[in-house]
Amino acid sequence: MTRQLALRTVLVAAAFVFATLVSWWAVPLAAAAFGAMTRRDRGGPVVTGVAAILAWAALLVWDAWQGPVGVMASTLGGVLRMRPVGVYGLTLAFPGLLAVCAAIVARAVADMLAQRPSPPAEVPAHTPATGAGLPSSSGDSA
């Protein structure tokens, strides 16, 4: 279970790396997608948040590999009136917060959509109320 969780976290983090290559605002979009897809999992948002933090940490390491990130942290820390470690913290907290919140909100929205009954006019008489492609709302509260 733990290994599976770790693997999943790494995979999600990799996805966040790619999302960040688009731009920072792609992080909450990706997190929302993960949140909706994993809406049945209890720890989904946390995993998403941790993965986002890991993704940006990995990117920072990549930056540090190629240049003086420490100088940048000191400079930005001076500008923002915080210690360099605070700048690193802020940099990691920012995607984490975005991802967790986006995942929670997306999951709730997905729940709502799943709960909503399909319009009768569009449901053939012989089709069950819960479509095969949609998860059962009862499963969420089991």
Partner 1 sequence: MTARRRTPAATVGLAAVVLAGTLYAGGAPVAGAPPLGQLLDPVSGVWALARSATPPRAADAAIPHLGAPVDVRFDDRGVPHVFANSVADASRAMGYIHARDRLFQMELQARAVAGTLSELVGDRALALDRQARAQGLADAARRGFEALPPTSTARVIAAAYADGVNAYLHGMRRADVPFEFRLLGARPQRWEPVYSAYLFARMGLTLAYSDGELRRAATEALVGAAATDALFPRDNPIQEPIQPNGQHAPRFDWRVIPPPSPAVDSARAHVALAEIEARARLIGALGGAIDLGPAGSAFRSDEPLALPPVRSHDDAAVGSNNWVVSPRRTAGGKALLAGDPHLSLTLPSVWYEAHLVVPDTLDVYGVTFIGTPLPPIGFNRDLAWTVTNTGADVADYFVETVDDAAHPTRYRLDGEWKPLRSRVEVIHGRGARVLATDTIYETHRGPMLRSGGAWVSRRWTVTDGYDATAPFLGAARAESAMGLMQAMAAFFAPAQNFAVADRGGHIAIRSTARFPVRSPTAPRGDVLIDGASSANDWRGWLPLADYPQAFDPPQGFLVSANQQPKDPRVDPRYFGWNWPSPWRAMRLDAVLRADSAVTPDKMRRMQVDPVSAQTALFMPFLVRAAREGAHRDSTLARVAATLEAWDGTYRGDNEQAVLYEAALDELASRTWDELRPAGSGREARISTPESVILLELMQDPDNAWWDDRSSPGVRERRDDIIRASLAAAWRSVTGRLGPPGPAWRWGASRHALVRHLLGIAPLSRANVPVTGGPGSVSPSFGDGNHGASWRMVVELGDQVRAWGTYPGGQSGNPASPRYADNLGKWSAGTLDSLRFPRRPDDLLPASTSSRLAFRAAP
Smaller CB separation from partner 1, 68 or 131: 68
Give the count of residues interacting with partner 1 (CB under 8 A): 50
Smaller CB separation from partner 1, 129 or 142: 142
What CA–CA distance (Å, rounded) separates 7 from 26? 22
Q: Which of 29, 7, 8, 41 is nearest to 111 (CA)?
A: 41
- The b-or-e profile of 68-96 (16+ CB within 10 A means b, else e) is ebeeebeebbeeeeeebeebbeebbeebb
Smaller CB separation from partner 1, 43 or 131: 43
Q: Which residues of this chain interact with partner 1, rule CB under 8 A?
A: 5, 20-21, 23-25, 28, 38, 40-44, 56, 59-60, 62-64, 66-69, 71-72, 74-81, 90-91, 94, 97-98, 100-102, 104-105, 107-108, 111, 139-142
